[in-house]
Amino acid sequence: MQPKYRLADRQYVVSPLRRTPNRIIEISDSQSRNRRVSADIRWFDHVHGELSINGVVRQFYAVQDDQTIHLHMDGKVWQLEAVDAFSDAAGVSGQAQSGQVKAPMPGVVLEITVREGDLVEEGQVLMLIESMKLQMEVKAGRAGVVQSLGVESAGASFDKGAVLANIQSAERQEPANREAVS
């Protein structure tokens, strides 16, 4: 999985290729056009920065509102919508039907927000993970009961494709033999 963004109804995939003093990234659009660029960002404060793309330096201002990044640069404003890898139409339909939430890439768990037996809603955050210095929320692909978690605690590592959680539909949930905690 690479970060995906939507800009003006087109989806772009950003793939890091090499890290040198500047990062080499490949940007692919939904029409399979690829472009490699050398990019670097220098931040002056929490909203103001300098972006260098293939040696051309531009000042910018950026703020994030949920999954949307509002970018003001060169007198224009762009809205980049981050496409959630866990709800991307290419992979979630099968995961949602099976109830499995799989890791899109290897990583480490930072925080687990649910426990086995918890009732969750579709889109609810199950855990926070980190991969390649990128933090992502892992969300439930459907409503139901957390049948099992594939990781035990924060700090646990996992491989690409590992089942991070298994969500069973609430109507199919079998009674759990859970003892009351006093």
Q: Give the pLDDT confidence of 34-88 residue by residue, as tens digits.
A: 888 888 888 999 889 999 888 899 999 988 877 788 889 998 888 888 886 554 4
pTM above the 0.85 mark? no
Measured distance between the N- and C-terminal CA atoms of the chain, rounded to whole angstroms:
43
Residue at token pair 């692919």: 28
Q: Is residue 94 predicted with pLDDT exceeding 60?
A: no
CA distance linking residue 44 with residue 58, whole number of Å: 13
The residue type at 162: A
List, for residues 123-176, the tens digit of each pLDDT value: 899 999 887 667 778 888 889 999 999 998 999 998 888 899 999 987 654 444
Per-residue pLDDT, 159: 86
Torsion of CA 82, 84, 88, 94, to 10 degrees: 180
Instruction: Please choose, from the candidates 131, 129, 128, 163, the residue with its C-alpha nearest in 3D space to the C-alpha of residue 146.
Output: 163
